[in-house]
Structure 1
Amino acid sequence: MKVFTEQQRFNQWWLYVIFALFLIGILLPLKINFEEVKAEGTDRILFLISFLIIFLAAIFIFLMRLNTKIDEKGVGYQFYPFHRNYKILYWKDINAIYVRKYLAISEYGGWGFKSGIFNIRGRGVAYSVKGDKGIQIVLNNGKKILIGTQKENEAKRVINTYKSNIKE
């Protein structure tokens, strides 16, 4: 029995740079006007609220993870913290599955959990963290799901093992 597992996180270097710039943008004016801010309580509260929002947003993004598992049951995925448990797509419910290259921004509007406005073109839902490779799944009911992967070749091998479970 072959099993494919993968865990991805938002850990790109440019995310760290963006958050660092936001924090510098808050801390630098505080440093420059420290005496004034120290005297006025309102400015301190606004600073703390701004800092807290950026800090919590950073923690939230860095806690997110995309877990994928392919085994004899089907394809399981979990985009934590949005999914508490794995969502399982059973082989009997899958019409087609393959690994493909995709354009995150033009096809889905970026990385993360994407649906809604970018689904107008019928591309379906996407769960991606980084890169441009994904496991494309077309369900029997016509719905499409793309799950990003950094392990393209390993995913292909395991998918080919279980493709015979798909009822065409």
Structure 2
Amino acid sequence: MSILKKTVSEKNILYKERQRFRQFWLWAVVLAVASIFWLGLVYQVLLGGAFGSRPVSDVSVVVLFVLVGLGLPLFFYGMRLTTEVEPGELRLRFWPFHLKPVEIPLHLVREYELITYNPIMEYGGWGIRWSARGKAYNMSGNEGVKLYFYNSKPLLIGSQRAAELFRAIGEAKQQQV
């Protein structure tokens, strides 16, 4: 029997989580900004008024509406953090910034812990964050698993199911080949 690379459906995935931004305040800000461009489109293009004290052309209003009025909310809606754990490996993908997942071989992880953290004070917010404490991938909430490596700074993975992620990493480290 030849050794073939397993397809995605054949892999032994121990844990999978897909997260999106859920913060009310974030969506309030995004939709408030987008609504200004919706208002500009309706008032200037559809009703024929002049939006603002120095209005731009109707074509520019339509372009700005598409980019900000539609594009900004769709961009935030499309953002997602996918975390997968399988024997010997952890994969993270923060779409649309990662076209391919970041693969972390678990043999490089010296230690890991389940933590509760302050996203704003410790990492400066949510998303892909860098700080003196290391790198963080998080979407919402304040729980996660922090990985400590032999040769680099720690990595925090935020999760809505942090205890389950912690257990899956432990199982994946035991099963690594």
TM-score when normalising by structure 1: 0.79
2:69 counterpart of 1:59: no
Runs of 4+ displaced beyond 6 Å: none
State the match for 1:94 in structure 2.
Answer: 109
Q: What secondary structure sits across from 2:97 in the alignment?
A: coil
Taking the aligned partners of 2:14 and 2:175, their CA distance within structure 1 comes to: 15
State the match for 2:123 in structure 1.
Answer: 108
State the match for 1:25 in structure 2.
Answer: 36
Map 1:1-168 to 2 at 5 A.
Answer: 3-28=14-39, 34-37=47-50, 42-54=56-68, 55-115=70-130, 119=131, 121=132, 123-164=133-174
Where in structure 2 are there 5+ consecutive unaligned residues?
1-11
Say which structure is richer in helix: 1
TM-score when normalising by structure 2: 0.76
Taking the aligned partners of 2:71 and 2:13, their CA distance within structure 1 comes to: 39
Q: What secondary structure sits across from 1:75 in the alignment?
A: strand
Q: 1:23 to 1:99 in 2, by over 3 A?
A: same
Query: What is the CA RMSD across the aligned residues, in angstroms?
Result: 2.8
Q: What secondary structure sits across from 1:68 in the alignment?
A: strand
Q: 1:2 to 1:47 in 2, by over 3 A?
A: closer
Percent of residue pairs identical: 27
Number of positions where the alignment pairs a residue of Structure 1 with one of Structure 2: 160
